[in-house]
Structures are given as structure tokens and as C-alpha cells.
Structure 1
Amino acid sequence: MSEFKVNKTYAEINEKIKSGKVVVVTAEEMVDIVKENGPIEAAREVDVVTTGTFAPMCSSGAFINFGHSKPGIKASKTWLNNVPAYAGIAAVDCYIGATEPCEEDPLNRVHPGEFNYGGGHVIHDLIAGEEVHLLATAYGTQCYPNRRVEKMVTLKDLPYAVLCNPRNAYQNYACAINMSTKTVYTYMGVLKPRASNANYSTSGQLSPLFNDPLCKTIGIGTKIFLGGGTGWVSFQGTQYNPNVESTPMGAPVRPARTLMLTGDMKTMNPKFVVGVSILGYGPSLSMGVGIPIPILNEEMAAYTGVGNDDLFTQILDYGNDYPTGNAKSLQQVSYAELMSGTIRFQGKDVPTSPLSSIVMAREICDILKTQITEGEFLITEPQGMLP
């Protein structure tokens, strides 16, 4: 017999979705419901909680097949808008990474010494329906004699274009500060000297892996909102690390789990897949990710009921310590404090700024809520659990 007072199955929740009787709330709404009614009553009332995040996710990219030429070509090097894409796969397949910079900016958007255009922008441009310049070169073989292909392509022209992101939806991330005497330019943004500002990049109580901290419902085969379309959790992400200290509710207080995500680019919306340029770091890709959490029991209700006051991260020095690989926590801080706009650090008030967008995260939660409520999105049971 189960230890829980409330027990639901994936099939039962999906039947409610199909019949229009499902109760769906956002992660933000669930915090108040659990606080007012407790996890048992919340589990009886709510069937699905929607989560969302939108932020730069550097470990992203796309597998692209650009179609066979006549005569055939076995591409050894490829470029999309002068951004190198790895071609050591087979014939006309390549992989373009979000942080790969262009070799010579085709749109003259690059200032000397800065890379403003890269793989993330190419991915966005394709999803937005824009033409992209393709160049492929080869050494030539008897079965693939062609040595060069050059043409303009759109996403519709491509036989295959799938987003495959090795590390997305980080379960917590550090807060960056700069203790040195000079301004530093990092993937966490511009950090002013002497701890004059602090940057963070997590959507807190809306974040997917904060709402299922032990990955009890998120696993291989979980259906998700990815870039405005449908995506899937295909494996644990790179740098996946569940062995970190956590709160009593299982939420890690340091960077922990990540997800490898895949999805068909042809279903996506450029609003939720945006190429970005981070000053002094280079190009990246801001991704919109939303994951529905089925409330199978009061345990899942309790996890999804944790708010920003009870979610924490560590402040690290990106001026001196981080570049050396020896960064240690200077202070623990809650997401409620970070999102207030100011934190108290070493006796002074320090302004905070998010790299993630709470506005976009809320929109993703609302879109997913509508899709489930209207029967357009069913919940999937993982086919394999994450470590």
C-alpha cells in the first residue's frame, strides 16, 4: 500500500485533460495554494503545475541536414552565415553550436574585437524564416565527387533541423559578483568592481527543476515546451550533478542537475529561441523551456509549493576566484532577496540583475497551462529515470 494519502496516475491525469476536467495552475500559483491549504489538500485539488524559464543557455545547438547535391558531396567543412558548423558526421549533416562565433560577420554587426553574431543567431534566424547562407566544402571521393556547395537556405528548405541542447534548464546557478578592482566581462554579464553589482540567472520558484528537485516526474521521454514548440527530455544534461547540499525539501543550494533537450525546429517560435551576444564573452542562445509537473501525490504538491523565500544560491567572485577554478561561496542568498533588486552583502546594499526573464517564464507557464487545459498537451510518464 502506498505511503501517500493522495495517489494519482499519469493515465488518470491524462483522462482529466481529455475530458476537460483537469485542474492546472502555474508554479507561482501553487506556492500560495500549498501555503493556504497544505500539500495534501493541494494534491487533491491540483492535477498539474506548469513551470518555465527563459535565459541564455550556452550549451545549445542544432543538428541540420541540408540535403544532397548533384553530384553528391561529403562535406568536411560547413558554414552557416559564416558561422562554422561541425561536419564530421556524414555527407550533408552538420551540428552548429550556439556559442560558435562567425568568422567574418556577414551583416557587419561585429565591432572590432567583439563577436556579436554566432550560432545562436543562426538558429534564431532559421526559426524566424530568414534566408541563411550555406557553404559546404569537401575533399571529394568517388561516391561523393562534389567539392563545394554554396546556396541560400531557409528552414523550410532543410530536410531536417532538430535542436539538440546538451545542457539546459540548470537546476540552480551561482550569483556572480566581482571583488576585484576592475570591471570584468563574463558570461554572467558585466560585473563592476568592488562588489558594485550582482547578477543571477534562474527563474526561482518558476524554474522546472526547482519544482521537481529529485526528478521524480522529469526523466527520459518527458514531453516539454521547448522554444515555443514541443520538445523532449532525451537524457541527463552535461555537468549533471545531484550530489550537492540541499534544503530539507530537496532543492539544491548550488548548481546541480541539468537536462539534455531535443525538439523539431520547424515547430518553434523565434520569440522563445533568441540569439544573444554577451559583451566580452560572445554569442549564445536564450531558450524558453517549460515542463509540466504532474501532482501524483502530496509529495509532489509539497515540492511545487516551495517559494523564493526557501530557495537559495551561492555568491561567487567572478573577478578573482572564478577564472582560477577556485571559486568558493562568499555568502548564501535567497531568490526572494535576489528578485527584490537588492541584496545585503558584506555590510552594504548591492543591486541585483537577472539574466533570466521572469516575464517570459510566466508567459511560458501560462501558455503551457492553456495547452493542457484545452486538451492540446498530454503528460508523459518518463521511459527512464535520471540518475
Structure 2
Amino acid sequence: MKDFKVNKTYQTINRKIQSGEAVVVTAEEMIGIVRENGPVEAAQQVDVVTTGTFAPMCSSGAFINFGHSVPTIKASKVWLNNVPAYGGIAAVDCYIGATEVCEDDPLNKVYPGEFNYGGGHVIEDLLAGKKVQLRATGYGTTCYPNTRFEKKVSLETLPYAVLCNPRNGYQNYNCAVNLTNKTVYTYMGALKPKIANANYCSAGQLSPLFNDPYYKTIGLGTRIFLGGGIGYVTWAGTQHNPAVDRTPQGTPMKPAGTLFVMGDMKGMSPDWIKGVSIQGYGCSLAVGLGIPIPILNEEMAGYTGVSDEDLFTQVVDYGHDYGNGIAKTYGRVSYAELKSGVVTIEGETVQTVPLSSMVKARRIADILKEWISEGTFLLGEPQFTLPS
């Protein structure tokens, strides 16, 4: 165990939060504090660093209980606004995934393979207070004789609605380009031929897992900002892969850690959860996510002092054989370069396109800072931290 000059506990920091004495700064503010004072003094000064990100996160969805019918039904198939939800759970429970698409989407009828409404939009509609058409069918049993059930539901009338996202908050992601002679359509957006654009998706220095690269403070029970309300980290996300190349500071240089997160939808807002339609790919959900990083010691202060100049990602060609799992990489670029608007790839000056919103990421970090400073949001100490 390292011998740190600064040692704080979650309990100590939470007491300071409750008494209004905690010093809380955003991850962007922390960069200057660490540069000017060094990590030891920064750890003595600062108690919590807030982070934020807002971007499409396809592996998202919601568990919903829509209440018993009369007579009762064991719903084996469920639709919400004609978007299929998974009903193989029990009675009147279902799970709707963000990328599931509407079965009668008018855009798909005009342009096969194109969709403008899906599970993510259903979730946003519920958060916006709109009524959603629910349809369920069952095979009929003695205790659940009904075979068909239909009604309008809203978030207010639903007995239970929990956002449950198996993979959010990716710790770094590819910079996507296309070296072929035709436009390709991907989950990273439309990529023009001959490296005409470079798309990326991260808040960089504000991104949660960049500020705790080895997940020393993040795990089961970590309390977070999720969709405008309070949520929790419940597990490592699917595709969590911490064993990747890293800089000397510990930050990964390609996709690495992910988070499994959950939260009560009834405390969330459509300002921070948005249904997304991506041309040529389908539907998704843009999620607002923010994590407070407790500055337990100078090591954590150093991690949260990371800047876009220190953060790099790999450039990947999505045009050649990406679907076959053998896409070629073309070096690395920093997030400072990506955010500047242009990068140099293969000797070419290429325009960059962000899929994530820095405006919303900053606002999330600011809101979380306000909540903690006001004493309304305490840190959740993880029962165990994520695999690192």
C-alpha cells in the first residue's frame, strides 16, 4: 500500500459536504490547480472533482413494470409505440432497448434500413410526460388467462421504470475515418470518402473514466448524475477491457473501461436523455452522465489533473473491413487536436466532428458541483471497485 502524504476517507469528505465545507471543482478547473500547486497541495485543497459527458450510448434501456390487467396477463411480447420490448421476464415486466426500432417507422418505408424512431425515443417520450401506446400479448395460463392487453401509459402511471444501461461512459473511444472511395454509414456517424472527416466521441478531460483511469474510486454503489437525476454504478459495463495500452499517466489509448449504470427514471429529465437516430445505423440514446471523483490522496489529484493534451485515441478506418473485425489503425491523435477542429492523418488535414456535446458535459459537471456544494448529494463509497 502506498504511503501517501494526504489521506482522506469517504466519511471525512461526506461530513465536509454536509457541513458545507467541502471544496468542489470541475475536472477542467482541477487541471490548473494541479499544474500550479502540484498534486500534494491540490489534494490538500480539493475534496471532490466533478466530471461529465453527454453522448450516444447504444447499450442503454429501461426496465418497466406496466401494471396488472384485468383479467391478468403474462406478457410474452410487448410493444411501446410499436417498438418491440423484451417480455420474457415475468407477468407485466419488460425491458426496452435503446437501439430497438419501430416496426412501422415511416422513414424505413421510404428508405429501407433507415429509422427515425426507436427505443431511445420511447424513453425520452416517457421522460417528457407523453403518453405511450402499450400493447402486450400472452399465451394464456390458468393464473394469467388474458392473451391480449392494450392501453396508454405515461411515466406517472407506470408503477416502476428504471433506466438500466449495461454499457455507458466508455473510457476512450476510436477516432473514426474512412479511406475508401464511397461514404460509409456507421454508429460513429457518416464518414465521407478519402478521409474527408474524422468523427470522435468523448468529452476528453471532462470524461469520467479519464479522471480515474484505474477505477480506484468507482465501483458498485458509486453515486452518479444520470439523466438529470441520481443513479448508481452497479457493475463493470459489458466490453469492459482495462488491459489496453496506456500512457505513463495510466490513461488508455483506445477503448477500455465501461460502466453498468442504473437510476430511477421518475427523477430524470428529457434534457439529459435524448432519443437519437443515426443515418444508416439506426436508433440510440444520448445519455448525460457525471461522476464525482473523491480526492482521497495526491494520486487521485494527479489523475484528475489530466488535460486534453495528455489524452490520445487511435484513428481507425471504418471503411475497410471494420465489420470483419480487421479494420486498420492509422496512428494516434490527442483530444486537444480533435477539439481544435482539424487533425493530420496520413499527411492530410482532416476536419473533426464530435458526437459528444462539450456544452452539456460542462453543464453536467457544474450541476454535480452545485449539488455537492449545497450538501444535497453525498458520495457513495463503492462496495468494491471495477476490475483494473
Does TM-score exceed 0.5, indicating one fold?
Answer: yes
Q: What letter matches 1:343 in structure 2?
A: V
1:385 CA drift (Å) = 1.7
Structure-1 residue corresponding to 2:103? 103
Mapped contact 2:61–2:96 kept (Cα < 8 A): yes
- For the pair 1:170 / 2:170, whether they are aligned, the reply is yes
Structure-2 residue corresponding to 1:383? 383
Structure-2 residue corresponding to 1:308? 308
Q: What letter matches 1:287 in structure 2?
A: V
Distance 2:315 2:385 in 1: 31
Cα deviation 1:97-152 (Å, max 9, x = unaligned): 000000013xx565432111000000000011000000001111111000111111
- For the pair 1:252 / 2:236, whether they are aligned, the reply is no
Structure 1 window deviating more from structure 2 (316-325 vs 286-295): it is 316-325
Distance 1:383 1:268 in 2: 25
Distance 2:111 2:161 in 1: 32
2:337 partner SS: helix
Structure-2 residue corresponding to 1:136? 136
Distance 1:351 1:145 in 2: 60
Structure-2 residue corresponding to 1:372? 372
TM-score between both structures, scaled by the size of structure 2: 0.98
Structure-2 residue corresponding to 1:10? 10
Distance 2:260 2:280 in 1: 27
Aligned length: 385
Structure-1 residue corresponding to 2:349? 349
Q: What letter matches 1:373 in structure 2?
A: S
Structure-2 residue corresponding to 1:112? 111
Cα deviation 1:339-378 (Å, max 9, x = unaligned): 0000011112100010000000000000000000000000
* CA RMSD after TM alignment: 1.0
1:331 CA drift (Å) = 1.1
Structure-2 residue corresponding to 1:185? 185
Structure-2 residue corresponding to 1:266? 266
Cα deviation 1:270-295 (Å, max 9, x = unaligned): 01000010000011000000000000
Q: What letter matches 2:317 in structure 1?
A: D
Distance 1:289 1:117 in 2: 23
Structure-2 residue corresponding to 1:203? 203
Structure-2 residue corresponding to 1:286? 286
2:38 partner SS: helix
Cα deviation 1:216-262 (Å, max 9, x = unaligned): 00011100000000000000000000100101111000100000000
1:296 partner SS: coil
1:157 partner SS: coil
Structure-2 residue corresponding to 1:155? 155
Structure-2 residue corresponding to 1:317? 317
Mapped contact 2:330–2:346 kept (Cα < 8 A): no
The runs of 5 or more residues in structure 1 that have no matched partner are none
Cα deviation 1:53-112 (Å, max 9, x = unaligned): 00000000000000001110001100000000000000100000000000013xx56543
1:197 and 1:47, CA in 2 relative to 1: closer, same or farther beyond 3 A?
A: same
Structure-2 residue corresponding to 1:229? 229
Distance 1:324 1:199 in 2: 20
1:42 partner SS: helix
1:182 partner SS: coil
1:366 partner SS: helix
2:363 partner SS: helix
Taking the TM superposition and a 5 Å limit, the aligned residue runs for 1:75-86 are 75-86=75-86
Structure-2 residue corresponding to 1:360? 360
Structure-2 residue corresponding to 1:19? 19
Structure-2 residue corresponding to 1:71? 71
Distance 1:11 1:308 in 2: 32
Distance 2:164 2:307 in 1: 31
1:328 CA drift (Å) = 3.2
Mapped contact 2:223–2:380 kept (Cα < 8 A): yes
1:361 partner SS: helix
TM-score between both structures, scaled by the size of structure 1: 0.98
2:271 partner SS: helix
Q: What letter matches 1:239 in structure 2?
A: Q
Identity of aligned residues (%): 69
Distance 1:67 1:250 in 2: 48
1:321 CA drift (Å) = 3.2
